[in-house]
Structure 1
Amino acid sequence: MARHLVSVTDLTDDDLRALTVRGAEFAAGARSAALAGRVAGIYFSKTSTRTRTAFSAGALRLGASIVSYGPGDLQTNTGETTEDTGRVLSGMLDILVARTAGDQAEMRGWAGQDRMAVINAMSAIEHPTQALTDLTTLWQQFGRIDDLSILYVGEGNNTATALALALARFPGVRLELRTPPGYGLPSDILATALASAARTGAQVTERHDMDELPGDLDVVYTTRWQTTGAAHSGNGWREVFAPFQVREELWQRSPKAVFMHDLPAHRGEEVTAEVLDGPASIAFRQAENKMHSAMAVLEWSRADSDGEERQS
């Protein structure tokens, strides 16, 4: 049976924790041939350096063969329904990893069958595999997710939505989001994260200013100001975002905090070069973990292969 990952909400609490730990195991050198003889489709309608490479390399390392598609390759461009496309591809592929420009509706259409696993490698709404990469990196750094204190600074984009949905599922986590006015998390995403936090004992808060920042943080996290496929229009948005730049002053009250960024980064915009390239930054280790986390997701997505030929 195939397992789909279109949203973080598709995962149980146990799934989240298991995928986090498994990603860290791959980062530590674990090996698996769980996808030997399998075929993975890699479809990206938007640009990608890290995620596309991570899933392609990860599938190959797990023993799969890959078929790659560009933005103009599928017949959905000529009117075929996503459900028909999913039905056809499921007779040939075992896994489809996809990045699209829209919401999750297209991926849900592909996932309307149980032969081929569908993995969301980023949509306009959510980037669930980035959240799993982040969890793996946190586990690698701290040996836990529970009880960590995390400050997210920047737009409430698809990385932030996935991060909030994931972190709210871990007991004792304190996630504070500081997002520019008019650029916060979608209200339904925030409501879902708050509901999870109420169940687990986590804390999720959002403000639209940079006043009264918390101290004793474990992590400061930001993303670039113009997410792939979602460039801002108008002349005034940079002035709105400017106070939310991550600078060295944020470490005055949290000297032991690490810095995370999903990359690509624009030095001098969302973060200064001194922070991104400084001693607190683990952003490039975080990027490398995209492959390790991708391997965990790919292995998990094939329930009938889970656990086969694992080596640690």
Structure 2
Amino acid sequence: MGDTHIQQGPGPEHGLFSLAELPPPLITGLAARAVELFHDGTAHDRPLAGRAVGLLFARPSTRTRTAFTVAALRLGAAPVPYGPADLHLAGGEPAGDTGRALGSMLDVLVARTPGPLDDLRDLSRQGRLPVVNAQTPEEHPSQGVSDLATLALSFGDLTGLRVLYAGEGNGTAVALAHALATVPRARVTFATPAGYGLPEEDLRAAERRAAAVGATVGQIHDLCAAPREVDVVCTTRWRTAAARHADPAWREAFRPFHVSEGLLSRWPRASFMHDLPAQRGDEVEGRVLDGPRSLVWTQAAMKLYAAMAVLEWITGPGD
């Protein structure tokens, strides 16, 4: 009788965990591919036909979950959805054990979890399974691809682009820093409340990558020090501040970073971006979010095409 036991051990991790780990040409290539798919969503030969894509969303998601589900369908795959309590991870099963089981059945796993990111790496290693980080507290890398694609769609050549991000240095900001650090001669400024900035390690990594292409990535804690010339103003929801910090007056620290029409008037030609969901009246004024300079709804639509580009790459030949 032959050996019928599956005894595979862990393999190397594989997937999209952080944009900091991807070579710059791959990041810009994914963004360019997303733009191609935005213009023609049928510009592919259903490369995931016959494959199964697991979609684990242990935290709320509107755009990212829908984007990856529809992306899997359009590329020919069968999506397998999991909610926050559907897997035994919720009951304490080690991520590695879950990974070994899922890896014998799925072709790729897309996961949004409360963290840590190392759990997704463990799922990938133990299951020998490509894993896409669809947001952990550390980073939201597919959002970074989507944002870079939105900018490329709107501005064309991004060389020398000037970007101001106002708000919390959370996982969306981290992904944006790593994405924009690949743009030659870009000037990127993160304006964050003191104590709510980008993690030092991520900021330094983005600075080093930016320097290689003549770009700059920096951080300030007072919008009075913002650049005089800006092409794009970005923000994101203040969703993690209260959870991460015990200061009951945290909103007061954030109030100066509210993107109002008055603030945006400092840069009369600048576009506006927000990854959504938005809390009108907190991080952004409603008339800015819905105004003529807003790229927000294009940015939301681009998430589908960024998801398609990521799935196409991660399951492609040699990956």
> What does residue 295 of structure 1 align with?
308
> What does residue 309 of structure 1 align with?
none
> What does residue 183 of structure 2 align with?
170
- SS of equivalent to 1:125: coil
Q: Distance in 2 between matches of 1:208 and 1:100?
A: 29
> What does residue 200 of structure 2 align with?
187
Larger displacement relative to structure 2 (63-72 or 78-87): 78-87
> What does residue 21 of structure 1 align with?
32
The answer to whether 1:119 aligns with 2:129 is no
The gaps in structure 1 that reach 5 residues or longer are 307-312
TM-score after normalising by structure 2: 0.91
CA contact (8 A) 2:109 2:129 kept: yes
The answer to whether 1:199 aligns with 2:247 is no
CA contact (8 A) 1:3 1:114 kept: no
> What does residue 118 of structure 2 align with?
105
The answer to whether 1:45 aligns with 2:58 is yes
CA contact (8 A) 1:46 1:229 kept: no
Q: How does 1:70-89 map to 2 (within 5 A)?
A: 70-89=83-102
> What does residue 7 of structure 2 align with?
none
Q: Distance in 2 between matches of 1:193 and 1:230?
A: 26
Q: How does 1:1-312 map to 2 (within 5 A)?
A: 3-31=14-42, 32=44, 33-112=46-125, 115-227=128-240, 230=243, 233-304=246-317
Larger displacement relative to structure 2 (74-83 or 6-15): 74-83
Q: Distance in 2 between matches of 1:45 and 1:233?
A: 24
Kindly name which structure, 1 or 2, has the bigger radius of gyration based on alpha carbons.
2
How far is 1:91 from its partner? 1.1
Change (3 A) 1:119 1:230: farther
How far is 1:231 from its partner? 6.3
- SS of equivalent to 1:40: strand
CA contact (8 A) 1:224 1:270 kept: yes
The gaps in structure 2 that reach 5 residues or longer are 1-11
Give the AA of the match of 1:29: D
Q: Distance in 1 between matches of 2:167 and 2:309?
A: 28
Q: Distance in 2 between matches of 1:253 and 1:246?
A: 11
How far is 1:225 from its partner? 1.0
Give the AA of the match of 1:157: N
Larger displacement relative to structure 2 (224-233 or 33-42): 224-233
Greater RCO between the two (CA within 8 Å, min separation 6)?
A: 1
Give the AA of the match of 2:78: S
Q: Distance in 1 between matches of 2:117 and 2:264?
A: 37
Q: Distance in 1 between matches of 2:241 and 2:127?
A: 30
Give the AA of the match of 1:15: L
Change (3 A) 1:114 1:172: farther
CA contact (8 A) 2:229 2:267 kept: yes
CA contact (8 A) 2:242 2:250 kept: no
CA contact (8 A) 2:193 2:254 kept: yes
Q: Distance in 2 between matches of 1:8 and 1:255?
A: 31
How far is 1:128 from its partner? 0.3
Q: Distance in 1 between matches of 2:90 and 2:128?
A: 23
- SS of equivalent to 2:16: coil
CA contact (8 A) 2:189 2:219 kept: yes
Matched residues, percent identical?
48
- SS of equivalent to 1:110: helix
Q: Distance in 2 between matches of 1:229 and 1:36?
A: 43
- SS of equivalent to 1:152: strand
CA contact (8 A) 1:138 1:144 kept: no
CA contact (8 A) 2:13 2:124 kept: no
